[in-house]
Structure 1
Amino acid sequence: MSIKTPPTLLHQAGESLLRDQALAIAALEHLPAELFPQLFIQAYRSRRLQVLKAMSQAWPFTVLPLGGLPDLSLDEVFKAILDGLDLLLAQEVRPSCLQTPLDRLSIKNCRHLMHSDLTHLFQCPKIRQLKTLYLFALSLKHFKPEPLRALLEAVAPTLQDLGLDNCEMVDSQVEAMLAVLSRCHQLRFFTITGNDLSLTTLEKLLRHTAGLSSLELELYPVPLECYTTQGTVKKDRLALVRAELTGILRELGKPRIISLGTKYCQQRGISKFYKVEF
């Protein structure tokens, strides 16, 4: 018979404080910085939305690591956190250190991201000067393309780094954002590996990113046509695809090196990359 580890005194104190949201919010002014992460996670787990909003405004560190939160649905929770950040930026009361709008956003390993989360994200005024947007290991397969396209539209003038890796994206979603992607003229790094894209969509990506003069690093997925039904790479087919893509790069007339990454292997924790260059 297993014996559960009893909660720590710190955990119990946090739970007691969170029973009264007004009291918890009032206590933030006097809360030591080292206690913020633990209380933030407890507020997240118990969906104390007003406390989360207030903690986002009072966060004492330079990074708010949302990617490390437990894998729960983020609909109303995510909105509360962004509302807090947006209000703080609008008030300009902390001249998370806040001389400029939010310039980096990274969301990782959230399997329950919803349409409303992305919708709220691109509607936040202070997010429109993002330089880095990194979405990793999200489940976007059944999303309509509009929210992601609108998010890119909002940040296109300033975006420098864009990562959309292992998000279960499909052809229709990527093709819907091609036009706005081609207007991200500040883009330096673009990665979209680990998604289920066809060779046709990959070719379209290469053509739409050809005019981005600042682009230095491009990582694309090995197209679906190169895989067996068991998920292994067909080396002969991949060789033909690499030759075909080299021809496209030559046709576009710009010296360029791209890499094709295999699907992410959970067991080994790696992807294998193949260069294509002109």
Structure 2
Amino acid sequence: MSIQSPPTLLELAGCSLLSNKSRAILDLEDLPIELFPPLFVEQERLLSKLTSQFLRMDCLRKFCVDAVLLLEGHLEQVLRHLKTPLEALSITNCPLSYSDWNYLSRCPNTSQLRRLDLRGIKLTSFSPETLQILLETVAATLNRLDLEACEMTDSQLQAILPALSRCSQLRILCFLGNCISMSALRDLLLHTARLSQLSIELYPAPLESYDAQGGIHGRHFALSLEGETLSPGKNKDLPEPDWLGLDMKVQWSGGLWGTVRQRLRGVE
């Protein structure tokens, strides 16, 4: 009978850091130098274990990860082992490198996505071209897109609008938590109005709606939004029937002001 040696404190500390993103970031400055080699070894071991599991999955259709610290810089290493096209890709609250981000649009397994969830992925410093190419690729199949709290800018949003407006099967769109102007929000609403299948839309309050203290008046936001974007008389380029049957609400949810536009036919 063999007795397995208990893990050392060093091993336990390494496993704890690899599994807890926020703690790892806070403790990195005070991390003892002798802990770095074991951490790298453990990371490679976990990545190898993950990819080896994919090799055994012949019909994997959904890939969902949340707050996985070790994914950074290794997205291609993980996704290239997939054997079938994905229907759902959810990478949320994960740190991504430039190579990770650029690989998303080149990955052959993301060409038939029905759901794309990138909540909490900070896109401010990334080129919007990757997302633009990815949306163009999945335009015929995508029905749900979540870009909440991606910290996208006006210019990044403008870059993806043509591709977004070609996603003809899109039914749910979430863009909450992004700092955009009223002008950018107006352009977004104009483009999404043309998507006949779109049923539920969630948008952030534009920057102009906030006062110096960071507060917002919901009624003022609603009135300005209606006046600037929802008047068919002002927006003659809009396909007028798409504005009929809309339920527009301004609400506070999850620490964010935003607007929910729901088309009365609902989501199938």
TM above 0.5, one fold? yes
Choose from 92, 96, 113 the match for 1:108. Answer: 92
**Correspondence 1:81 to 2:78:** yes
The residue type paired with residue 133 of structure 1 is L
Contact kept, 8 Å, 1:162 with 1:190, in 2: the verdict is: yes
**Correspondence 1:153 to 2:136:** yes
Instruction: For residues 17-39 of structure 1, give each alpha carbon's deviation from its aligned partner in whole angstroms, at most 9, with x where no partner exists.
Output: xxxxxxxxxxxxxxxxxxxxxxx
Distance 2:96 2:233 in 1: 35
Residue 56 of structure 1 corresponds to which residue in structure 2?
54
The residue type paired with residue 212 of structure 2 is T
Structure 1 residue 116, shift from structure 2 partner: 1.7
Contact kept, 8 Å, 1:190 with 1:218, in 2: the verdict is: yes
**Correspondence 1:119 to 2:131:** no
Q: Which runs of 5+ in 1 are unaligned?
A: 1-5, 16-41, 90-100, 266-270
Distance 1:43 1:179 in 2: 42
Contact kept, 8 Å, 2:142 with 2:167, in 1: the verdict is: yes
- State the SS of the aligned residue for 1:175: helix
Structure 1 residue 131, shift from structure 2 partner: 0.3
Structure 1 residue 264, shift from structure 2 partner: 4.7
Choose from 154, 164, 168 the match for 1:171. Answer: 154
Residue 66 of structure 2 corresponds to which residue in structure 1?
67
Choose from 231, 241, 244 the match for 1:247. Answer: 231
Distance 1:56 1:118 in 2: 21
What does residue range 117-266 of structure 1 map to in structure 2 within 5 Å?
Answer: 117-235=100-218, 237-244=220-227, 245-247=229-231, 251=235, 252=238, 253=240, 254=242, 255=244, 256-260=246-250, 264-265=254-255
The number of residues matched between the two structures is 222
Distance 1:231 1:102 in 2: 40
Distance 2:102 2:159 in 1: 16
- Identical residues among aligned pairs (%): 36
Normalising by structure 1, we get a TM-score of 0.69
Distance 1:51 1:225 in 2: 49
The residue type paired with residue 67 of structure 1 is D
Distance 1:179 1:249 in 2: 23
